[in-house]
Structure formats: C-alpha cells, structure tokens
Structure 1
Amino acid sequence: MSDFWRLYVQSPLSIEADVADCLERETKPLSVATGEIAESPNPTGSMADLGHIECLYDHPVAAHEMALLLAGLGFPSNLEVKVEVLRDRDWVTESLRTLPIVTSKRFVIHGAHLRNELPKGFYPLQVEAGLAFGTGHHDTTLGCLLALEKVHQSGFRPKHILDVGTGTGILAMAAARLFSGRVIASDIDHLSVRFARQTLDLNGYQRIRLHHAAGTQHRTIQSSAPFDLITANILANPLIAMAKDIVHVMTPSGQLILAGLLHWQFRRVLAAYQSVGLRLLTRQKQGDWSILTLEKP
C-alpha cells in the first residue's frame, strides 16, 4: 500500500470547470471530481454560488504550490486550497466491504457478504473489495452498464468486443453476458489486471482474454482487430489522446462507449472523436458524468 494526497479547491461556480480543466492538464492527477456547494456568504456578506474541485495524487503535493500554480494561470489568488494526506492503509477495501447492492436494468453487482440477499431477475456480478477501479458503485461504471444494455436493446449484436481500461472487469463480464461475441479486456495497471483476473474467474468468465496493455497498444489487440464494440471507461484526457488508436481498431458500423468524462468535458471529448470520423448516437448523464455512445460510419 502507499499514501495518497487529496487536493481540495473551493472556487466560484462560474470558473469551477476552468479550474478543474487546468488542474487536470497541468498536474496529471489520478482522478478529478467537481461539485457544487450550497450558496455561501462571500466576503462582502452577500451570497455566492460556490463549487469545489477534488484531485487525487499518488505523490506529495503542497497546498501553497497549487495555489501559486492557479494564481499563475490567472485564477484569483484567494481561492481556498487544501491538501489532505490519506495515510498508508487499504482504505478502499475498508470502505468497499460495506457497500450495498447496485443494480442496473439487467445486472446486480454485489460483494460476497450480500450473495444471499440478491433480488430476483438480474444477472449477478460478484466484485470483492480491492484497489482496482470499477466496483459498479461509481456513476461511470453504472452508466456504462446502462449504455451496454441500451446497445443490446437496440438489436445491435457485436461479434468482437474490446474493453479498454477494464478495472475489475465488470464491463467485460457484462458484455460477455449480453452478447455472444468474443471479449478481450485490457488495463494499463498491473494490479487491476491481477484483480480483474480473479474477478473473471470468480464469476465464471474464464473465456474473456485479459491483457496488460496501454490502450490498444498490445500485439494481441492489434492482431485481433477490428472490433465492432469497444468500451473505454477511463478519464477525459486519455480518451482524447487515444481517439485515433481506438478508431483504428473499430469496424465500419462499429460502436464505442466512452465514460470517465465530467459533463463539462463532454464537448472536448466528443470533438476529438468527431474529428476522426465518429458520430454521436446517444449521450447519457449519470450523476456528474457523461457516457457517450458513438458509431463509426
């Protein structure tokens, strides 16, 4: 295990998206999230709409350095900036052990402690507490499940499926359950790949091929292309960077589900994929996040 550093910035709601965008671009956090704060009094005593940005890092960051960075980028010098150290312990596992059942329209995601309390009529996916992303309790994972279900409901039947940034393997398992096609899953993180393999085996999805890979850059993925359905639940900037690579391994009429982008990042991500020829089929909102389904003509 290792420590993490959480950066908290409070800003006027009117510039929240710009602050978050700059922090993501300039400091490369593991994750970034935004939210609104109820109207609060400003220094003049009147009420102001405030937002907050939280970034997570796996290396030390200092509040004063972040404040100087933001000021140097033209933001107000009086923004509230704090850093909290999340000490060396498996706090993710500790919190996940108490997570409740999560359901989409077709799937129920649960831990072992809830296996005897599952609702009827759902496909079960058991995911145990661990460090990999994708427990189904995050809006992006749930949103992707719902998007996969909509693809199935539309009558589209992919024969060759790729899940990029698989995390715990939830989306790969869901795709394998909904469709009869072959499924390949990949992740850039060794720990995620190991955890995903355990999760796939636990749920009986040994037929899913799993690889440690950066995006689509793996010989097995390249030799197995093209794919007629790809899911990628990552973050906005990596999604933008991978646009050409992802489209390159898609079939004509293939579909792509993208997630990991906040609402304010939607247009930038969409523009990157439209620039390489894809068209938007649907945009789904799940909490603070947008999930896009696109098609290659």
Structure 2
Amino acid sequence: MSWKITALAPRAVIEQALLAHEEAFDWDPGIVLSGSEIAEDRPDDWQLEAWLERKPGKREKAALAALFSGEPPGLVVEKLPETDWLVASQQDLQPIRAGRFHVHTPEHPVLNEPGVAEFTIPASQAFGTGQHATTAGCLAMLTHMRGQGILVRNCADIGTGTGLLAFAALTLWPRALATASDIDPVCVGVVEANAAANGIAMGPRGGQLVMTVADGMDHPLLAARAPYDLVIANILAGPLIDLAPDFARSLVPGGHLLLAGLLESQESAVRAACRRAGLRLGARLVNGDWSILWLRKRR
C-alpha cells in the first residue's frame, strides 16, 4: 500500500467515524482504516488513517469524508515510500508483556524470564496492527482466568488473525482441543507458519490447533467441534453484537466468552447484546481506550 490519507480531529469525532465505518457494509476493502491518539500526552487528539494501494481520487476521499457527521476534518494525502509499509510502520512497535506472555517481533530479544511464554510474530503479520492494546488485554485476561481456576477442555478463537490468542490458550490449557478461524483465507498460511515458528502443533487432537476459514461461527467444523468451554473473539464491536447469540449457543452451560476489539464507548452496546443472549459479565478491564470483557453463559 503506497498512499495514505490522514484526518485529525478530537477523539470523540474519530470514534464516531470508526463506528460509521463498522456500519458501512459497502466499504471498499481496498481502503484499510485505523484510528489512534496522536501522542500519549495528548489523549484527546486523534487521527484517522486510511491506507490504499492506489492513488486516492474523489471517490476515496468522499468515502472517508462521509464517515464524519457534519463538516469533515481536512484530509491530508501523502504518497508513502516504496517500502513494505506494514513492516516499516511496526519497526518501532514495542513487545507486548501481559500476563504470562511476552510477544515480540524477531527484531526484539526474548526475556528469558521463568514462567513467561514467548511468542514471536513477524512484523509483516502484525500482531499489533491497530490492536496492540486489545491483544495485551486479552493475554492479561486469559492469564487471570487461568489463575481463577477456569478449566478449558475445548476452545475456539474466532477472527484469529495470526493465531496468537489461540496459541496463548493452548499454553495455559495445554491439553485442550483448540480451533481457530478467520474470514480471510490468507490467515490459514499465516497461522500455520506462526504455529511452526512458536512450537504449536497443528492437528485435531488435544493440545493441537485446527485452523479453518469461516464467517463468524458459520462453518460445519466450528459446529462439529462445539460446544466450547471458551470462545475468544478479538474483532470489532459491530460483529460482536451480531454474533452474541451464536457465541452463546456454541458454549457449554457455564462456558466462557472473551471479547475484545471494542472501544470503551462501545462497551454498553456489546454488553447489552450479550445479556440478551444469556451471557453475564464475569470481569472487565480497560487498556487505553479499549475494553476487554470476560462473560459467562448462564447454567
């Protein structure tokens, strides 16, 4: 991707634009979007960034401007250097140290701390792209769940991306059956490569990981391997709301659901959908602007 469009606005304005993006079902998949604060010491000043492989024209600018209610902020268009923009954007990405886990790119050294599980994810596959805080929050919450004595025999990671959270679940519950899925077929090879690099066995038995391509919970393999003790979904608030009934149906009575990818401002809507599906809140944590929710299915 060699072009970028940037819009600067207050946090609330950017968050509303991100919500509008989630609801834009006809969004051009060639425009990759993310929102973030400009600097840690300026928490209310945010930027919306859009990356494209082509030079943006009137149509692309109009699509971005339409995400804003009222007068949109100014859009700055720039051509990026002819490099791997994703790798370059993450060269300064710091490792994640959360719970029992240390996750880093190959450029960073291992910690060699007793009791700490190390995972190496290449920068080009982006364990932190737009989700650094949610990934760290999920790792911390999984560790907390294990510390509370939660027993997991069968788990699923929906929207797995790189496979990282599935790897973490297998580390905490090494005898569990584990299934990972993503809507993007490219993720199959990514997960398999990362599993090999991190010593995670692929296969259908306990202690192994099965990977498939699925839209949400809609896949025969996910149905056949249900019900689950634990379902993990670090995706977006809109799909989390839509999928809440499917998640609930896939869990054993008393089963656990770990949700992330939602802004704190979106939490009430996600929790309301989960309550309607028979799920109650077990614990929550906030990492930056992001909420991580541990819910339980009623027995």
Aligned to 1:278: 279
Between 217-226 and 237-246, report the one with greater CA deviation: 237-246
Q: How does 1:29-68 map to 2 (within 5 A)?
A: 30-35=32-37, 51-56=45-50, 58=52, 60=56, 62=58, 65-66=62-63
State the shift of 1:134 in Å.
4.9
TM-score, length-scaled by structure 2: 0.81
> Are 2:199 and 1:204 aligned?
yes
- Cα distance change of structure 1 residues 21 and 9 upon mapping to structure 2, 3 Å threshold: farther
The CA deviation at 1:141 is 0.5
Assess if the C-alpha contact under 8 Å between 1:187 and 1:213 holds in 2: yes
Please give the residue correspondences for 1:1-297 in structure 2 after superposition, counting only pairs within 5 Å: 2-3=1-2, 5-11=4-10, 15-26=13-24, 28=27, 30-35=32-37, 51-56=45-50, 58=52, 60=56, 62=58, 65-66=62-63, 69=66, 73=69, 75=70, 77=71, 79-84=73-78, 86=80, 89-115=83-109, 118-134=112-128, 138-179=132-173, 180-206=175-201, 207-297=208-298
Tell me the CA shift for residue 21 of structure 1. Answer: 2.4
| Deviation of the 1:274 alpha carbon | 1.4
Cα deviation code 1:213-257 (max 9, x no counterpart): 212122111111111101101111121222222222111101101
Distance 1:175 1:14, change over 3 A: closer
Of the structure 1 ranges 126-135 and 144-153, higher mean CA displacement relative to structure 2 is found in 126-135
The answer (yes or no) to whether the contact 1:125–1:203 under 8 Å persists in 2 is yes
One-letter identity of the residue aligned with 1:187: D
Structure 1 residues 39, 280: CA separation in 2 closer, same or farther (over 3 Å shift)? closer
Task: After superposing the two structures, state which structure 1 stretch, 141-150 or 184-193, moved more.
Answer: 184-193
Q: Percent identity?
A: 31
Instruction: State the SS of the aligned residue for 1:112.
Output: coil
Alignment: residue pair count: 284
- 8 Å contact kept, 2:283–2:294: yes
The 1-side partners of 2:170 and 2:150 are apart by 14
- In structure 1, the residue corresponding to 2:151 is in which secondary structure? coil
Compute the displacement of 1:32 (Å): 3.8
Letter in 1 for 2:37: G
Q: Bigger shift: 163-172 or 91-100?
A: 91-100
Q: 1:173 to 1:152 in 2, by over 3 A?
A: same
1:44 aligns with: none
TM superposition shift of 1:61: 6.4
- The answer to whether the Cα contact below 8 Å between 2:65 and 2:72 also exists between their aligned partners in 1 is no
SS in 1 for 2:178: strand
Q: Sort the Cα spacing of 1:69 and 1:282 in 2 relative to 1 into closer, same or farther, 3 A.
A: same
The amino acid that maps onto 1:204 is G
| Counterpart-to-counterpart distance in 2, 1:166 and 1:178 | 17
Residue 37 of structure 2: SS of its match in structure 1?
strand
Gaps of 5+ in 1: 41-48
CA offset digits 1:140-176 (Å, max 9, x no partner): 1111000101110111111100001111111111100
Structure-2 change in CA distance of 1:14 and 1:163 (3 Å):
closer
Unaligned runs of 5+ in 2: 202-207
Query: CA 1:98–1:226 in 2, change beyond 3 Å: closer, same or farther?
Result: same
